[in-house]
Amino acid sequence: MEKTAVDWTEWLVHRVFFWEEDDAKKGRIVRTLHHAGTYILGTMIVVSHVIYPAFWLQTIILGFCTLVWIQHILTHGCVISKVEQRLLKDESSFVDPYLEIFGVEANEKSKQGILIMGSTLAVAILTLEWVSRLSHKVIPLLKSHLLAVPPVLHTLAA
């Protein structure tokens, strides 16, 4: 599955960036967009908890993070990073600086491990928070609306 996903994603990159002939330039474009998307997602997580804590926004962000996590699990890492590496003909990835901070050797197994561990932890925390919010705000709201149903409807339902 991993090889198929990487091959299809690389095919898509070549179709989207059709004007660029050089694979290295395409790889740098993809890497830049990938890093920007990751930072935007992190920023949106903070925004959805601090500035605009709307339940719908947190639900969308949780859904997107869950899809990314599933992709990480099924393909043993990030497909976009693998396409970047293939196009740039290098082995560096998004997690390399974090491994260097803690003095961990940046090999394929450690990169996959930290990526899967990080995305699993993030999705777990966001899911717990979402369930907590659901149980403390949405369920009581539904109960209050159901209890506010006129008695006539209660007798019709019986």
Is 135 inside any structural domain?
no
Q: Is 75 within a domain? A: yes
Question: Residue 16 belongs to what domain range?
Answer: 2-129
Residue 146 falls within a domain, yes or no? no
Residue 140 lies in a domain: no
Closest C-alpha among 36, 75, 53, 20 to residue 126: 53
- Mean pLDDT by runs of 10 across the 158 residues of the chain is 86 88 89 93 94 92 95 89 89 82 83 88 94 81 71 57
User: CA-based angle 6:9:15, to the nearest 5?
Assistant: 145
Please check whether residue 155 lies inside any domain of the structure.
Answer: no
pLDDT of residue 43: 96
Between CA 131 and CA 133 the distance in angstroms is 5
Q: Is residue 109 part of a domain?
A: yes
Whether 154 maps to a domain, the answer reads no
Q: Domain tally for the chain?
A: 1
